[in-house]
């Protein structure tokens, strides 16, 4: 059941149903676009109330947000490709410090 996803956990590389009936895969491009142009791909069951963060986050912050959202999907960092023949990296913690953004919402909350 994918009507109205309320969480970002597990979203990366999974299909998202949009208003209008189309489906997109939540890859990096989709996540970036969802942050910069939220109204352009609105998730089914939601209103387009998300504000754009264009001009408010730097490229670096945008990358950190995308990395953080990716980290909410188990194995996302290890397998950008379909996980069918994933190498034996399953037990290896990913060495990349991609997800050390503990409080990404602080970015949005920094206005007074
Ligand atoms: C840095 C802050 C934020 C990030 C990184 C972020 C990220 C995202 C992403 C990735 C999606 C797509 C979710 C999906 O496909 O299931 C989304 C959707 C959504 N967001 Fe945000 N969001 C942020 C802030 C906000 C804020 C401040 C609001 C409301 C005031 C908001 C409201 C929504 C709503 C209603 C949707 C679903 C409808 C749509 O696709 O536009 N978000 N957000």
Q: Give 34 Cα–ligand 1 centroid separation in angstroms.
A: 7
Q: Are 31 and 69 in contact (CB under 8 A)?
A: yes
Tokens of 98: 């991609």
66 lines ligand 1 (CB under 6 A): no
Which amino acid residue places its CA nearest to atom 7 of ligand 1? 35
Counting atoms of ligand 1 from 1, which one is nearest the CA of 104? 1
pTM: 0.74
Domain 1-75+97-112: give its CATH code: 1.10.760.10
Does residue 65 line the site of ligand 1, with CB under 6 A?
yes
The pLDDT score that the predictor gives to residue 72 is 97
What are the tens digits of pLDDT across the range 17-69? 999 999 999 999 999 999 999 999 999 999 999 999 999 999 999 999 999 99
> 18: exposed, middle or buried (C-beta count within 10 Å: 0-12, 13-18, 19+)?
middle
Phi, psi of 43, deg, nearest 5: -70, 140
Reference 73, options 103, 35, 99; nearest CA is 99
pLDDT per residue over 79-112, tens digit each? 454 444 445 444 445 545 544 444 445 444 444 4
């Amino acid at each position: 059941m994918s009507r109205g996803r309320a969480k970002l956990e597990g979203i990366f590389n999974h299909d998202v149903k949009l208003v209008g009936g189309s489906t997109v895969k939540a890859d990096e491009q989709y996540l970036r676009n969802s942050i910069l142009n939220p109204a352009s791909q609105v998730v089914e069951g939601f209103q387009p109330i998300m504000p754009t963060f264009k001009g408010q986050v730097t490229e670096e912050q945008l990358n950190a947000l995308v990395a953080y959202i990716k980290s909410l999907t188990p194995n996302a960092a290890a397998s950008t490709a379909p996980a069918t023949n994933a190498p034996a990296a399953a037990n290896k913690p990913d060495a990349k410090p991609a997800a050390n953004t503990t409080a990404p919402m602080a970015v949005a909350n920094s206005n007074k």
